[in-house]
Structure 1
Amino acid sequence: MNELTPHGADTSDQRATHGATRESDEARRVVERILARSGTAVMAQGAGAPSDADGDQLDLAERSALRRVAGLSTELQDVTEVEYRQLRLERVVLVGLWHSDAEAAEISLRELAALAETAGSQVLDGLLQRRQTPDPGTYLGSGKAAELAGIVADTGADTVVVDGELAPSQRRALEDVVKVKVVDRTALILDIFAQHAKSREGKAQVELAQLEYLLPRLRGWGESMSRQAGGQVGGAGAGMGSRGPGETKIELDRRRIRNRMAKLRREIKAMAPARGAKRAQRQASTVPQVAIAGYTNAGKSSLLNRLTGAGVLVENALFATLDPTVRRAETPDGRAYTIADTVGFVRSLPHQLVEAFRSTLEEVADADLLLHVVDAAHPDPESQIAAVREVLADIDLAQVPEVLVLNKADLADPDTLARLRSAGPHTVAVSARTGAGIEELRRLVAELLPRPAVEVDVVVPYTRGDLVHQAHTTGEVLTEEHGADGTRLRARVDEALAAQLRAAVG
């Protein structure tokens, strides 16, 4: 397939050439616009900076102290995939394909640039090609692959990042042409997750996902392929005693990876009882549960800080939060509930990660309410909403009641906000940075959270003030009067507390 095929059939070679030139110029302008915005994925002052509601942000200072070291090269040498994948990305060239929608291609490539910067890379250049399907050999085709090799050489890049998922054979073929490491979108997301995971379970889940991705993509070069001479190799001057089956280095790597994966699965399984105990404790407390979900960098952690004062990490970067954070909050009428921040989603989220984080994400299934946070200032928020809902449906969480929280309303276009308000039955526009709309969100949460089922009207002895306190914390107190015999309480509570109140009255 020729690169940049013109729209429609045209028998004129001259018009076809002009059409191809126009589309090539359009692709180049898209790349230039993305490069002009490079660096926006790292923390900066202004709109992306933490607000007063975000606390001291000590975790941010820790993360900023771990930026990647300049001057490291990842040019391919005679090493295996296992070895060179431990090296760090540094200076990258982006590669993307588009079919008919140039705007969608630009949004996707801009997101790839933000992912690369979040991984600690410097975006040097990009190549955007129009073709209907990826080339089965080199993804781009031989001509564009050679052009990419020239760009890599001219810019001094050490890594090519492809906006898609490469088959192992495509990655190998493209690496053989450009002579530097090639990673796809999936590998890049896995790399970011590996950097940001902090809990023991989170690290184990990410490592398992990385190894599942890596196993079919091992490769070796030259002499590093074999650690022992075997078969005919021994007859080529290796001498007596060297002939035998041997074990190639790549086979050894595969065996080590499988062993490590089995160990990680056992560790993750062993962590399940502790997580289940915490979940059971939350369920037994009868306190309603709210979960925050949404596209990466939509402002979920900022919203949690605004609602609870949790002070969790806020960073203008993709996948800043991986380990769930659970905090307590109160409705305007005084009812307590828990609210959990979860990992962000992204288009084409690697299925290895969905599987690895399934145990964590399934905790959202226990929630009574889901706050689906949307970046209302994004150029294409509808596609982000669809991507999140697709993942939620994939892990059977689509049945949890949803509130669509249109965040960054202070930066969004009014027409976009008006359009998004019809994307769900319950929507509210807020700004976690300025606090606008937060009270309206609190009222909506209070309205949608389940209310206790049993109404009681009892006089609680003053010696059982703990029950009155529990009614305020987990129930809904309608009236409260203090008399000579105790506290006259009319409230809606759960079955267990209702039984305790009746027993206290005697």
Structure 2
Amino acid sequence: MGFTETETPDTRAWVLHPDIKSDRDRREAHGALEEALSLALALPGLEVLGGTVVPLPKPHPGMLFGSGKIEELKQQLERDEIELVLIDGPVTPVQQRNLEKAWGVKLLDRTGLILEIFSDRAATREGVLQVEMAALSYQRTRLVRAWTHLERQRGGLGFVGGPGETQIEADRRAIDEQLVRLRRQLEKVVKTRELHRKARAKVPFPIVALVGYTNAGKSTLFNRLTGAEVMAKDMLFATLDPTMRAVKLSSGPEVILSDTVGFISDLPTELVAAFRATLEEVLAADIIVHVRDISHSESEEQAKDVRDILASLGITDETPQIELWNKIDNVDPDEAEALQLRASRQDDTFVASAITGQGLDAFLEDVATKLAEGIREERLLLSYEDGRKRAWLFEKGLVSEEKQTEDGYDLLVRWSPTDAAKFDSL
């Protein structure tokens, strides 16, 4: 379903990470290149030969790189017979056109690459619609590329555009019409999903959501805990759509476990907006488990990215969170021991391996304890005008008993702090 021709099995690709010195917020270059290479490897049909960090004082508006660097890279790309260049960062339509012409290759920027991966991974109807909308929005900004061979000239009186302008406007209108159609379809899908969620809300199972940086091991953990055959590969974005399964905790209640799409730094804003619904299950969670690849050299930076995205979604301290430091089996014994000690001194932090099962029992016991601690009984008095709030409580299956009084409803509810906070916001 992708919108570029990256499906050819033997497409030879090279990754470039521009290390822009004028960007004070830039990431450590070699770690960023490593992640970009992992992104490239996550897309089927590519033979990724390697990558280069390109130091850059500041981006060149027309070509991104300076003329000397462009010539140097051209020789290398020709020598290695590269067909596709993946640039780890934003590339304007003009820069893309000029670089493709200079190098004689196809080019994808970071947004285009992530869209291709999302396109390949989307499994549910909602995920497919979200990808299509994001891809169309991205294409709309780059229409100038397709029509550079046509003149953009005004008609004699300025009422009629030249052929290029007419074609671009026609294409934009077609894309806008398609976006409207997709939004309507997505609204229907989201309504259907809301109905499913309401039906699930009547079953008083708490939701435990697994979140984390992409490739942190969430799907492997999900598979171990549920026995589900969810795609779990050592590649970025192995899971796109949330997968949910009911799991009986050995020392506690039955819960719904939710596996979500992996987060990533510098996710383009149009993709954050398009995939926000993919993370909506997290907003309904009673406990959020932040799975970290503790063996990764940038684990702390990745964890910050995840926390920032959770905060942007509106996750508050009301929802209990647990940090699970995964992949301890990838760490040498001395460091593993130090990590164990560090975790033991922090609240709600566990060291584990989803591959070997190490540390998972203690983690699951804590989940059960938190769920038991969080549930409390409370009596509420609602006026007859508060019918919507009363309906919400019954919909969630939180009402233990109800009496009618002269002033309204006298309710006994059993709920978690998350439910109480949601009720207060109604």
TM-score range (shorter-chain normalised) is 0.7 to 0.9
Tell me the residue number matched to 1:152.
Answer: 77
**What is the total number of aligned residue pairs between the two structures?**
370
Distance 1:426 1:223 in 2: 57
Q: 1:410 aligns with which of 316, 329, 333?
A: 329
Deviations 1:212-258 (A, max 9, x none): 122111234678648x99958xxxxxxxxxx9865643333222211
Deviation at 1:367, TM superposition (A): 0.5
Q: 1:495 to 1:270 in 2, by over 3 A?
A: closer
**Alpha-carbon separation, structure 2, partners of 1:266 and 1:118:** 31
Separation in structure 2 between the aligned mates of residue 117 and residue 87 of structure 1, nearest angstrom: 12
Task: Tell me the distance in 2 between the aligned counterparts of 1:144 and 1:244.
Answer: 38
Structure 1 129/362 Cα, relative in aligned 2: closer, same or farther at 3 Å?
same
Q: Counterpart amino acid of 1:177?
A: A
TM-score normalized by structure 2?
A: 0.78
Determine what percentage of the aligned residue pairs are the same residue. 38
- Greater CA radius of gyration, 1 or 2? 1
1:98 aligns with 2:39: no
Name the counterpart of 2:363. 441
Instruction: State how far apart, in whole Å, the 2-side matches of 1:99 and 1:312 are.
Output: 38
**How many Å apart are 1:205 and its aligned residue?**
0.3
Specify the alignment match of 1:114 in structure 2.
38
The structure that is strand-richer by fraction is 2
Is 1:496 the counterpart of 2:399 in the alignment? yes
For residues 6-405 of structure 1, the aligned pairs below 5 Å read 85-88=4-7, 90-98=11-19, 104-120=28-44, 121-220=46-145, 225=150, 231=155, 246=163, 248-399=166-317, 400-405=319-324
Paired with 1:94 and 1:415, the residues of 2 have a C-alpha distance of 32
How far apart, in 2, do the equivalents of 1:330 and 1:347 lie?
A: 34
Range that drifts further, 384-393 or 214-223 = 214-223
Residue pair 1:295, 1:388 contacting (<8 A) in 2 also: yes
Q: How does 1:425-436 map to 2 (within 5 A)?
A: 425-436=347-358
- SS of the aligned residue for 1:219 comes to helix
Compare 380-389 and 410-419 and name the one that shifted more. 410-419
3-state DSSP of counterpart to 1:106 = helix
Q: Deviation at 1:143?
A: 1.2
RMSD: 3.1
Counterpart residue identity of residue 280, structure 1: K
Q: Whole-Å Cα distance in 2 between the matches of residues 313 and 495 of structure 1?
A: 35
Three-state SS of the structure 1 residue aligned to 2:330 is coil
Cα distance in 2 for partners of 1:359, 1:266 equals: 15
Matched AA of 1:249: Q
Work out the CA distance in 2 between the residues paired with 1:270 and 1:103: 40
Q: CA separation in 2, counterparts of 1:220 and 1:105? A: 29
CA distance in 1, matches of 2:63, 2:84: 16
CA deviation string 1:240-289 (max 9, x = no partner): xxx98656433332222111111111111111211111222222222211
Distance in 2 between residues matched to 1:294 and 1:222, nearest whole Å: 41
Inter-partner Cα distance in structure 2 for 1:190 and 1:423: 41
Query: Any conservation in 2 of the 1:291–1:339 contact (CA below 8 Å)?
Result: yes
Deviation at 1:385, TM superposition (A): 0.5
Residues 220 and 250 of structure 1 are in contact (CA less than 8 Å); yes or no, is this contact kept in structure 2? no
Give the 3 Å change call, closer, same or farther, for CA 88–146 of structure 1 in structure 2. farther
Q: How many Å separate the matches in 2 of 1:283 and 1:367?
A: 11
Please identify runs of 4+ aligned residues in structure 1 that moved more than 6 A.
100-103
Runs of 5+ consecutive residues of structure 2 not aligned to the other structure: 379-396, 404-426
CA contact (8 A) 1:301 1:314 kept: yes
Counterpart code for 1:93 = W
Residue 305 of structure 1 contacts residue 312 of structure 1 at CA under 8 Å; is this kept in 2? yes
Q: What secondary structure is seen at the aligned counterpart in 2 of 1:449?
A: helix
Deviation for aligned residue 1:150: 1.5
- Secondary structure of 1:337's match? strand
Contact map agreement 1:127 1:148 (CA 8 A) in 2: no
Is the CA contact 1:453–1:495 (under 8 Å) kept in the aligned structure 2?
no
